[in-house]
Structure 1
Amino acid sequence: MSAQGRFADLAAGHGLVFETDNLPLLRSFADESFQLIYIDPPFNTGRTQTLHRRTVQRADDTAEGVRVGFQGRSYTTTLGERRAYTDRFDDYWAFLGPRLAEARRLLDATGTLYVHLDYREAHYAKVALDELFGRECFLNEIIWAYDFGGKSRRRWPAKHDTILVYVKDPEHYHFDSTAVDREPYMAPGLVTAEKAARGKLPTDVWWHTIVPTSGSERTGYPTQKPAGILRRIVTASSRPGDLVLDFFAGSGTTGAVCAELDRRFVLIDENPDAVSVIERRLGEHVQRG
């Protein structure tokens, strides 16, 4: 059965993972197949990223070193070998541009694209996406701000990522602001007690910690993004049962959140270590495409 045919057979909360170069596979998918596309492409930093490969095994709840994982299952984790890859391309936009064009083609008429980048490439991406989608289809520039890691004393420390948000049709796109999580008011004394208790809708600046190095969510994958960021995106821009695509899947956070929220999903990554992490993390919720 073709990959496209298998999409229709996916149950809510389940998905496919492909270990391959994403561009030829994307070109094989039918137009307007996905309600939501989130990508976290390599940031083109030039740095070497190290993967701390872990061995994860089911464990009895009373065993030493047990942690609780997906859907409350108990696991033990052993740190093993380290592998590295270089986050650098000689012509980054020759690499990313065709993939963004495919993302636009694959979006449903009411769909949304989220492109997660750092400050080195975000401005180039905005110009490229404006040309590809049209400036009228630009919805948001989300700033994900965090305060963790080293801090330079020679400049203002860079402590944010940028997520550019584009829609296929600026007049008819899905966005559910009532379903997303709410945040505490920074000045609760300036609003009613009822509003303070309920919290406020998030703005386009999201304060959220990175994945803690010793937290249960941690997979060991070097560029893992926190589930809280993806949960907000998936909740706002898709519905239960919708099909979500992440073609730079990395540690599989998009798939983990989709499984939790009853969305169907397709993950693509050509790094076998990433696919191995995804399969361990998602278990029966994901199968090879």
Structure 2
Amino acid sequence: MSEKVRAPRNRTLTLTVAERSHYRQRLLRLQQPVSAAAILNRTLCQDLFEALPYLPSGCVDLLVLDPPYNLTKRFNQRTNRRRSLQEYENWVAQWLSQLVRLLTPTASIYICGDWQCSPALYNVASRYFIVRNRITWEREKGRASRKNWKNCSEDIWFCTMSSTYYFNADAVRLKRRVLAPYTDPMGQPKDWNATIDGNFRLTAPSNLWTDITIPFWSMPENTDHPTQKPEKLVAKLILASSPPNALVLDPFLGSGTTSVVCKKLNRRYVGIEQELDYACIAEKRLALADTNVQIQGYSDRVFWERNSLPWQRLVQSSSGG
């Protein structure tokens, strides 16, 4: 991972040479079949296809998949090349078919993609799982186009192994500011709460997410990984679809977001990442989570509408709270 000149206030997480040497000692590389206990709360640094035959069966409660999209993109020392949609679908089928063996009968699965690769992901997922929903989330960053609509959304396919599965809607409710505070005939708030800091409503979770902020340079969770998912986004998946102490697997761990969020939310985890630098970054983030369990946009056991928490603190400050 090449050294970059950072602005003084840039909080992007990086590795020193000494840290890389230290954290790589914690990484695992499987060379024979192992039990779930042997890989619990660990990061495997190897190619997924190399690791798959050695992973234990029937132990994963939640599978979070954020594979490389069908784009030409560079990941540190490795470049993924765009291929035909059918070729991409065949590649997805190669590893997804082998991951099914690892899941419990009540497991849930989330598969991330963009609009271009999403059809291939659905086609493969529907062969092995019950596809229950498609979440669309606003990725507020995006390049403008002069001849097309700006691309600023991504999909997450929600699937389950069977009709019996864990889902906790109350754990992922969204707290929104109320701009039109309706009251009942007695003058009492209708489905919202009045506080000294403003008016808020708790809303049921939907499959359209507009409250996610992509990690950027001033956020302590930010890394140099080119497709890093926000902790807030992954926290929603984990809280909705896994109870405490459940085992969560992310076979495309990247910079470690899924494992870090699991640690912060009292879930067990296994992450697989083939790039050494990203795996070491994941281990550094996990070490930092020992003392900081904060997840941006998640507080008081609810998810807050984007920019609500800074706005609330501003109100508190101006009111002397």
| TM-score tier after normalising by the smaller chain length | 0.7 to 0.9
For residues 262 and 245 of structure 2, the distance between their equivalents in structure 1, rounded to whole angstroms, comes to: 9
Alpha-carbon separation, structure 2, partners of 1:103 and 1:185? 41
Q: Secondary structure at the match of 2:168?
A: coil
Q: Which residue of 2 aligns with 1:196?
A: 192
Structure 1 residues 64-106: Cα deviation after superposition (integer angstroms, max 9, x where no partner):
xxxxxxxxxxxxxxxxxxx453232543233221211123222
Report SS of the residue matched to 1:142. strand
Listed one character per residue, the Cα deviations across residues 249-275 of structure 1 (whole Å, up to 9, x for unaligned) are 001000110000110100001111211
Q: Is 2:163 the counterpart of 1:159? A: no
The structure with more strand, counted as a fraction of residues: 1
Normalised to the residue count of structure 2, the TM-score between the two structures is 0.70
Q: Match for 1:179: what amino acid?
A: A
Gaps spanning 5+ residues in structure 2: where?
1-29, 194-200, 291-321
Number of the residue aligned with 1:27: 53
Residue identity in the other structure for 1:41:
P
Aligned twin of 1:132? 128
CA change 1:38–1:188 in 2 (3 A) is farther
Greater Cα offset, 261-270 or 150-159: 150-159
Structure-1-length-normalised TM-score: 0.77
Q: Which residue of 2 aligns with 1:168?
A: 161
- Residues 147-183 of structure 1 deviation map (CA, whole Å, 9 limit, x = unaligned): 223211211111111101110002x111011112423
Summarize the Cα distance change of 1:185–1:204 in structure 2 as closer, same or farther, 3 Å threshold.
farther
Residue matched to 1:78: none
Q: CA deviation at 1:23?
A: 2.2
Aligned-partner residue type, residue 88 of structure 1: R
Alignment length, in residue pairs? 245
Q: 1: CA distance between counterparts of 2:183 and 2:95? A: 45
CA distance in 1, matches of 2:178, 2:161: 34
Q: Which of the numbers 93, 97, 101 marks the counterpart of 1:97?
A: 93
Determine helix, strand or coil for the equivalent of 1:179: helix
| CA displacement, residues 31-67 of structure 1 (integer Å, 9 cap, x when unaligned) | 3210000011001211335xxxxxxxxxxxxxxxxxx
Aligned equivalent of 2:66 = 40
- Rg larger in structure: 2
Instruction: Point out which structure has higher relative CO (alpha carbons under 8 A, 6+ apart).
Output: 1
Kept after mapping to 2: 8 A contact 1:183/1:201: no
- Return the alpha-carbon distance in structure 1 between the equivalents of residues 190 and 272 of structure 2: 44
Residue 188 of structure 1: how far off its partner (Å)? 5.0
- State the secondary structure of the residue aligned to 1:224: coil
1:1-289 mapped onto 2 (5 Å cutoff): 4-7=34-37, 10=40, 15-49=41-75, 83-88=76-81, 90=83, 91-133=87-129, 137-170=130-163, 172-184=164-176, 188-189=180-181, 193=189, 195-197=191-193, 198-207=201-210, 208-283=212-287
Residues 124, 9 of structure 1: alpha-carbon distance in 2 compared, 3 angstrom cutoff? closer
Unaligned runs of 5+ in 1: 50-82
What are the superposed Cα offsets for residues 188-225 of structure 1, whole Å, 9 maximum, x if unpaired?
54687352234102200111121123211112211111
Asked whether the equivalents of residues 32 and 106 of structure 1 are also in contact (C-alpha less than 8 Å), the reply is yes
3-state secondary structure, aligned to 1:23: helix
Deviation at 1:284, TM superposition (A): 8.0
Rounded to whole Å, the distance in 1 between the matches of 2:219 and 2:234 is: 17
2:198 corresponding residue in structure 1 = none
Percentage identity across aligned positions? 29
Contact 2:36–2:56 (CA under 8 A) maintained in structure 1? no
> RMSD across aligned C-alpha pairs, in angstroms?
2.5
Change (3 A) 1:138 1:187: farther
Please give the alpha-carbon distance, in whole angstroms, between the structure 2 residues aligned to 1:191 and 1:37.
Answer: 43
